Amino acid sequence: MRLVLLGAPGSGKGTQAARLKTQLGVPHISTGDMLRAAVAAGTPMGLKAKAVMDAGQLVSDDILLGMLEDRLAQDDAKAGFILDGYPRNLAQADALDHLLSRIGQPLDSVVKLKVPSEAIVGRCEIRFKAEGRADDNPETVRKRLGIYAEQTAPVAEFYAKRGKLQVVDGVGELDEVTARVKAALRSDSMTASS
């Protein structure tokens, strides 16, 4: 299964990907986690990314695509993957399509988690207090939601036109949301095989 999870920051993409990876037997690839690891390691790219992330901005497309290509070349991603946090704009969606075509791993499905903005701000405030992530403070989250609405939301339409998009209600208990995502994936795989 080659899957992209879409949704605003704090919509639950990472949580759902972590829950699905074992069931699907594929790695959860989070560009946010890859970037945070580079920041924690103090790599030159990590230091550059930290300044951008702390300001509530997004890291450049070429850096992310290069990191992603390296990650998809690893053995555990040969049978598939769950992408979380990428693509986040139309240019990245197009670049990802070209990359996956070139490496012979086209997407099977795209699931968008739909969550109201105020619920997201509340979720991120809780995570900010628990984990202290600078990109989760309420002011930064509101900036990120604005960027999402402008740049990332159109990615859903990109995949809808290709017949890959399933929209899932991301509000509710974790098990309920996971069940909805799994039902959307079953529906998508049945459509693809008919």
Contacts of 40 (CB under 8 A, 6+ apart): 46
CATH assignment at residue 165: 3.40.50.300
Nearest CA to 30 out of 82, 94, 106 is that of: 82
Q: Which of 51-65, 67-81, 84-98, 142-156 has the lowest mean pLDDT?
A: 51-65
Tell the residue number behind the tokens 């890859």, with chain if given.
Answer: 34
Specify whether the backbone of 87 is left (phi greater than 0), alpha (psi in -120 to 50) or beta.
beta
* Domain span at 73: 2-193
Cis peptide before 87 (omega within 30 of 0): yes
**If you average pLDDT over residues 164-175, what whole number do you get?**
95
* CA pair distance 178, 83, nearest whole angstrom: 16
Q: Residue 161 — pLDDT band, cuts 50, 70, 90? A: very high
Closest to 96 in 3D by CA, of 188, 192, 4: 4
136 and 125 Cβ atoms separated by less than 8 Å: yes
Model confidence over 110-150: pLDDT tens digits? 999 999 998 998 888 888 888 887 778 888 888 889 988 88
Q: How many domains does the chain have?
A: 1
pLDDT of residue 105: 95
Backbone Cα Rg of the chain: 16
